[in-house]
Amino acid sequence: MVEEILPDIFKITVPLPDHAVRSVNSYIIASSDRTLVIDTGWNRMACLETLLAAMEEIGVDRAHADLFLTHIHADHAGLAGWMAQKGATVYCGQRDIALMDNFINTSGDKSWPVMQQLAKPHGFSTEELTKGLEAHAGNRYAPEGLGQMTAVQDGDTLTVGSYQLTCIATPGHTPGHMCLYEPTNKLLFSGDHLIGGFTPTISQWALDGTGVDDYLASLDKLLAYDISLALPGHWDSFTNWQGRIKKAKAFHAACNDDILAVLADKQPLSARQVAAARSWNGSKNAWVFFPMARKWSATADTLAHLCHLRDHGQLEMIRHQEQVLWRTKID
Ligand SMILES: [Zn+2]
């Protein structure tokens, strides 16, 4: 589905079959010189067909299109390799480029070996590690054949036709997440940093990561901008971006409280065990119904909050054999 937002700016709803969020938004800023595509969908036929049909409908020559990735998750970056092979320059935040190097086995065997090693100390069984990888859309539909990407920094500008776009580094959902701001019409391409209907998880496996603090600071950073319309990575465009920022902050404060309550009986638990006992979407039993890939992302989000609570003096991290465990701080 193609929707014209402004002259030469189009929103494409790209389906994500069998995924809870159902679709990802790709944006096309058309130009007679170089067109810019923002995010693509998975490396999967249904996504490619949608993108190709949209380009044809808009009249974009795909040999003259570049790609901007808000972040490296496969639902946004899946077709980056395909576009690169058609001649696109692929722009992405530096810290996400570094992650992409970790997660894609460049030999073409998409086994995500680094990912498995990162998840291993946090309470997953060998079977869960194998099953999680097989099922994970980020693994199954990751970009292929993606060569060198072009790093963008906070404040960089890209010119596409008559539009000037400024890159805003918004680490949190991923460490290298980037938004794009168009100042004349006050548009914000917000990726997964700010979404209308829900608050994105923070994906963090690194024990020295600061994903939650980064995310909160990135929310505050946007308050300095004047935004008429936010164009998110999923679902509908929205105008009440300040209200969304408030909700996102309240959401993460509630996540912290929930995690502290889970650990209140002082038993050390792994990140996976804490994640299993948290409420998700207001339900204490939600974990049981999560597919394995969702259990992985829920654990990564929990780990981000555990590290945050440790860094703010509320929890202790302990190592037990090869496992990493968490408990309330004992004075
Ligand atoms: Zn996404």
Cα 84 to ligand 1 centroid, rounded to whole Å: 20
- Concatenating the DSSP letter of every residue in 120-158 gives GGGT--HHHHHHHHHH-HHHHT---S----EEE-TT-EE
Q: Which helix (H) or strand (E) holds 214?
A: helix 211-222
Cα 165 to ligand 1 centroid, rounded to whole Å: 21
The pLDDT value recorded for residue 3 is 98
The pLDDT value recorded for residue 167 is 98
Cα 38 to ligand 1 centroid, rounded to whole Å: 12
Q: Which two tokens stand for residue 220?
A: 């505050």
In whole angstroms, give the CA distance from residue 230 to residue 188: 5
Cα 241 to ligand 1 centroid, rounded to whole Å: 18
Cα 233 to ligand 1 centroid, rounded to whole Å: 6
In whole angstroms, give the CA distance from residue 200 to residue 73: 12
Q: Where along the chain do its domains lie?
A: 2-239, 247-328
Cα 321 to ligand 1 centroid, rounded to whole Å: 35
- Residue 87 burial (CB count, 10 A): 12
Residue-wise pLDDT for 230-275, tens only, equals 999 999 999 999 999 999 999 999 999 999 999 998 899 999 999 9
Cα 235 to ligand 1 centroid, rounded to whole Å: 10
In whole angstroms, give the CA distance from residue 13 to residue 17: 12
Q: How far are the Cα atoms of 59, 214, 234, 326 from residue 312, in angstroms, in the given order?
A: 52, 14, 32, 14
Cα 234 to ligand 1 centroid, rounded to whole Å: 7
**How is domain 2-239 classified at the CATH fold level?**
Metallo-beta-lactamase; Chain A (3.60.15)
Cα 192 to ligand 1 centroid, rounded to whole Å: 6
Cα 195 to ligand 1 centroid, rounded to whole Å: 10
Nearest Cα to 138, choosing from 271, 307, 16?
Answer: 16
Q: Kindly calculate the radius of gyration of the chain based on its CA atoms and give it in whole angstroms.
A: 20
The pLDDT value recorded for residue 107 is 45
Q: Which two tokens stand for residue 293?
A: 């890939």
Cα 200 to ligand 1 centroid, rounded to whole Å: 8
In whole angstroms, give the CA distance from residue 103 to residue 114: 6
| Length of the chain counted residue by residue | 331
The pLDDT value recorded for residue 57 is 97
Cα 75 to ligand 1 centroid, rounded to whole Å: 6
Q: How far are the Cα atoms of 9, 145, 282 from residue 101, in angstroms, in the given order?
A: 31, 12, 36
19 burial class (0-12, 13-18, 19+ CB within 10 angstroms)? middle
Q: Which architecture does CATH list for 247-328?
A: Orthogonal Bundle (1.10)
In whole angstroms, give the CA distance from residue 275 to residue 256: 12
The pLDDT value recorded for residue 103 is 60
277 burial class (0-12, 13-18, 19+ CB within 10 angstroms)? middle
Nearest Cα to 99, choosing from 209, 180, 181?
Answer: 209
- Which sign does the torsion angle of CA 85, 87, 93, 95 carry? positive
Residues in the chain, pLDDT under 50: 105-108
Helix (H, G, I), strand (E, B) or coil at 32: coil
| Residue 200: DSSP 8-state | P
Cα 187 to ligand 1 centroid, rounded to whole Å: 19
In whole angstroms, give the CA distance from residue 203 to residue 90: 22
Q: Are 190 and 233 in contact (CB under 8 A)?
A: yes
Question: How far does CA 210 lie from the centroid of its chain?
Answer: 15
Nearest Cα to 51, choosing from 73, 32, 77?
Answer: 77
Cα 41 to ligand 1 centroid, rounded to whole Å: 9
In whole angstroms, give the CA distance from residue 220 to residue 213: 11
The pLDDT value recorded for residue 101 is 66
Residue 13 identity: T
